[in-house]
Structure 1
Amino acid sequence: MSRRKSRIIAFQAIYSWDVSGESLDNLTQFSWVDSKENLDESELTFSRLLIAGTIENIEKVDELIKSHLSENWSFDRLNKVTLSILRISIYSLVFQKEIAPSIVIDEAISIAKEFGPQDSFKFINAMLDKISKEQ
């Protein structure tokens, strides 16, 4: 597993938390992850950090998203996959200063291309770029 896989697991957990209200404890036990993934403890630790940090700071993260939406977009209108990718990425940009913003943005774009709606990566890239320049 890699840091990218850790981020994918974190995004999936945040998505599940948002859609189903799954508890943080259940999400970070990773029983829902495919057993074929060969999960490494250090990478699971990174996933746990992203999940817990994002949820603990969700109000600040969501406020940043809301403040960077154009007038014709509402927070509630955001696709849940896009929102989940934005949430873990903004958490990283704001609270994980040891990770270069370019890495956070590149990873978010890759995850969006794989899992997000068509062209969502462009929206994610633009928002994360603006937020990273403000940090």
Structure 2
Amino acid sequence: MSRRKSRIIAFQGLYSWDVGGINEKDVLNLSWVNSSSNEDEDVEKALPDDESSAFSRMLIAGTIENIEKIDETIKAHLTNWDFNRVNRVTIAILRMSVYSLLFTKDVDPSIVIDEAIDIAKNYGPDDSYKFVNAILDNIRKSI
């Protein structure tokens, strides 16, 4: 499974944790990826790869573990936006990406931002990718 698919799984897990109230342990076991309700067949077919599953789990666990700092960072870069009014899909994408920007130094920030933009284009509301790009680019410049 590619890193992109791992990021998609991580984003979906973080969204489920935030909106669905799924506990961290259940999100991290990734059993929900194989559920019949998952419409993303490419992600579903790709799950067995242990390295990719580990990357998804790392993104999810790291984001949840550092959620206060991540949310503070996002809030500090929101201009004329109330954090609680930002679409929850967009928040999940931002959280995962901000975690990567702040805490993982092995991936170039431009790759993190490009991946977040692509995920926002596919899963977020219309034009959310522009919002994601602006916020993440401002965060990248500040670190």
| TM-score (ref. length: structure 2) | 0.91
2:31 equivalent in structure 1: 31
The CA deviation at 1:133 is 1.1
Correspondence for 1:59: 68
2:77 to 51, 64, 68: 68
Instruction: Please give the alpha-carbon distance, in whole angstroms, between the structure 2 residues aligned to 1:66 and 1:30.
Output: 29
Give the AA of the match of 1:89: S
Match of 2:130 in 1: 122
2:95 aligns with 87
Could you tell me which runs of 5 or more consecutive residues in structure 2 were left unpaired when the two chains were aligned.
36-43
- Structure 2 CA distance for aligned equivalents of residues 112 and 19 of structure 1: 17
Distance 2:46 2:111 in 1: 24
RMSD (Å) for aligned C-alpha atoms: 1.0
Unmatched segments (≥5 aa) in structure 1? none
Count of residues paired in the alignment: 134
2:38 maps to what in 1? none
Q: Does 1:44 align with 2:30?
A: no
Deviation beyond 6 Å, 4+ runs, structure 1:
none
SS in 2 for 1:32: helix
What amino acid is the match of 1:90? Answer: V
Aligned to 2:16: 16
Equivalent AA in structure 1 for residue 95 of structure 2: R
1:7 counterpart = 2:12? no
Counterpart residue number, 1:97: 105
